Chain A
């Protein structure tokens, strides 16, 4: 059973050119998939379709082998959690209150979080090592801290699939590394992770699967470390890319803890 399946999905925004043209792919359970592509290639659109924020013009998207639009909003939230982009301008809820939004799908319409939900939040706060944040306001913490809080909320939500929209793009070098390491740790839990990024190195670092979108189609679909070859990437990014080992200087990269 695949967690996510796109079957000949076509999409375009109103009065605009086709963005995705009959794309099909499978994502298996408990895998990490990195969606790559140039700006405007349709990476984010793919995630929006997956989250049902936009609906395909044709084709079907399956979640656990059941068509996505047959899920109710509530049911869907139990299957997929979403980590969006920074929306926390003027968002002066405390981090704890924000994390509690993750338990919404476990609460009745007129109910508020109870002691057990605070305990659940507390458990994940400890796990993500952000206890020092919980009384701070969401709009006063750093970009990296916000990203960790958002991922933490997705875990509190308890969904098996976690979708992240460019979790690394707005972060500085240190924070990128921090989040990448976090994603690597998460990879070993029973979660299915899908996220978009500009940087092919992220997929290599995580040893994940990769979907590369170019010209409205998926041009690479497979294991990052075998499929992301210089030859393949040149087709998309042009012949201006190469290996940093060919530089006359050493390029910095995230530390790799593998042997």
Chain B
């Protein structure tokens, strides 16, 4: 019961932090907006300069919303994968979803498409990849989730090679650069259309996971024990996998591949409130959003061209992850 209060404190704290970061993200960047002008724009006062208004309304607000949604989606899908496979070293890419979504995007770019068409290709390929992984795991006819993970590795490997092939087939340096940049993640092309596509996907996926947050714990018991306490293990696991896949494929489609977030944020959430998805899921959702907004600010504020998101998350994520692993070195065992 004590940890419940702690969780509430963290949730309130992070929510306030999120609001603060949201405003900061709109103010800072290579072009600084003053708080005064920001308030004028928000309150509908026309006294603010048109440039400022344009930047706030058309660039920074949609971009920050995309960052927020992406952070939520990637963190929470990483968390649920870690919970249902009872393995803390897995990330949302576990079942090959982001590799598949990358193939879709690379293909679309090579075919000469731009903008939202690339996103659509990417999303559809992400979903197809998950279905492929599930189909292959069925071939093994085993209850063990090891085979699902192996199928994910197999399909992911195939998809990475396919991306390589499309990079090779890229006809111009511009296409190649676009694919490469896309493989490292970016919010630079975020618009209100991106928000409109991402928002429903994230709402549905996050809501499903949020509602099932306590029950997700039970899946960590594995098939036999979870079934014996009255949980439809296969069905529940499938609902979670589908939700997490939607979230991952959706974000990859809009912002490209962003590493580390889905691995590191859930770890931090567990450090804060202990392992119990009932508590970690809300904390992860809000903290993931905060983290991603910070990453976005860093990626666009310091250099004349933007730093790819995965570079920033990698530089932030690796030391954090190393620290966690070092603190946990005593309890990491062979079976994982």
Instruction: Point out residues on A near B: beta carbons under 8 Å.
Output: 14, 48, 51-53, 73-74, 76-78, 80-82, 84, 87, 89-94, 97, 101-102, 104-105, 107, 109-113, 118, 139, 153, 157
Asked if A89 and B212 make an inter-chain contact with CB atoms under 8 angstroms apart, the answer reads: no
Asked if B228 and A112 make an inter-chain contact with CB atoms under 8 angstroms apart, the answer reads: no
- Cα–Cα, bound, A70→B222 (Å): 23
Asked if B215 and A109 make an inter-chain contact with CB atoms under 8 angstroms apart, the answer reads: yes
Known: A51-B224, A78-B230. A90 touches B86 (CB 8 A): yes
Query: Residues of A contacting B222 with CB < 8 Å?
Result: 87
Asked if B214 and A113 make an inter-chain contact with CB atoms under 8 angstroms apart, the answer reads: yes
Determine whether B229 belongs to the interface, using a CB cutoff of 8 Å to chain A: yes
Asked if A53 and B224 make an inter-chain contact with CB atoms under 8 angstroms apart, the answer reads: yes
Asked if B229 and A93 make an inter-chain contact with CB atoms under 8 angstroms apart, the answer reads: no
Known: A87-B225, A104-B218, A111-B214. A74 touches B230 (CB 8 A): yes
- Cα–Cα, bound, A104→B222 (Å): 15
Asked if A87 and B221 make an inter-chain contact with CB atoms under 8 angstroms apart, the answer reads: yes
Say which one of B149-157, B272-280, B289-297 lies at the interface with A.
B272-280
26 A-B pairs (CB sep. < 8 Å): A14-B141, A51-B224, A77-B228, A77-B229, A77-B230, A80-B228, A81-B228, A84-B225, A87-B222, A89-B335, A90-B86, A90-B331, A92-B331, A93-B276, A101-B218, A101-B229, A104-B215, A104-B229, A105-B229, A105-B230, A109-B211, A109-B212, A109-B215, A111-B214, A118-B1, A157-B229
Known: A90-B88, A112-B278, A139-B331. A51 touches B217 (CB 8 A): no
CB < 8 Å neighbour of A112 from B88, B213, B220, B223: B213
Q: Which 8 A-B residue pairs are closest in the complex by CB-CB distance?
A: A77-B230, A105-B230, A82-B228, A112-B214, A110-B211, A104-B229, A74-B230, A89-B335
Query: Residues of B contacting A102 with CB < 8 Å?
Result: 229
- Cα–Cα, bound, A90→B90 (Å): 14
* Residue of B with least CB distance to A150: B225
Query: Residues of B contacting A94 with CB < 8 Å?
Result: 274, 276
* Residue of B with least CB distance to A103: B229
Asked if A110 and B333 make an inter-chain contact with CB atoms under 8 angstroms apart, the answer reads: no
* Residue of A with least CB distance to B335: A89
Asked if A82 and B224 make an inter-chain contact with CB atoms under 8 angstroms apart, the answer reads: yes
- Cα–Cα, bound, A89→B331 (Å): 9
- Cα–Cα, bound, A153→B229 (Å): 9
- Give the shortest distance, in Å, between A151 (CB) and chain B (any CB): 13
Query: Residues of B contacting A73 with CB < 8 Å?
Result: 227, 230-232
* Residue of B with least CB distance to A93: B275
Q: Which of A87, A91, A92, A113 has the most CB of B within 10 A?
A: A92
* Residue of A with least CB distance to B227: A73
- Give the shortest distance, in Å, between A233 (CB) and chain B (any CB): 31
* Residue of B with least CB distance to A53: B224
- Cα–Cα, bound, A101→B229 (Å): 7
Other A-B contacts than A81-B228, A90-B335, 14 sampled, CB-CB below 8 A, are: A51-B224, A53-B227, A73-B230, A73-B232, A89-B333, A89-B335, A90-B331, A91-B220, A93-B275, A93-B276, A101-B217, A102-B229, A104-B218, A104-B231
- Cα–Cα, bound, A92→B280 (Å): 13
Determine whether B87 belongs to the interface, using a CB cutoff of 8 Å to chain A: yes
- Cα–Cα, bound, A78→B229 (Å): 8
- Cα–Cα, bound, A104→B211 (Å): 15
Determine whether B336 belongs to the interface, using a CB cutoff of 8 Å to chain A: yes
Asked if A51 and B228 make an inter-chain contact with CB atoms under 8 angstroms apart, the answer reads: yes
CB < 8 Å neighbour of B224 from A14, A84, A107: A84
Which chain B residues (298-336) contact chain A, with CB distance < 8 Å? 331, 333, 335-336
Asked if A90 and B87 make an inter-chain contact with CB atoms under 8 angstroms apart, the answer reads: yes
- Give the shortest distance, in Å, between B270 (CB) and chain A (any CB): 8
- Cα–Cα, bound, A104→B218 (Å): 8
Query: Residues of B contacting A78 with CB < 8 Å?
Result: 230
Query: Residues of A contacting B215 with CB < 8 Å?
Result: 104, 109-110
Q: Which of B213, B227, B333 has the most CB of A within 10 A?
A: B227
* Residue of A with least CB distance to B211: A110
- Cα–Cα, bound, A112→B87 (Å): 23
Asked if B336 and A90 make an inter-chain contact with CB atoms under 8 angstroms apart, the answer reads: yes
- Cα–Cα, bound, A186→B212 (Å): 34
Asked if B333 and A90 make an inter-chain contact with CB atoms under 8 angstroms apart, the answer reads: yes
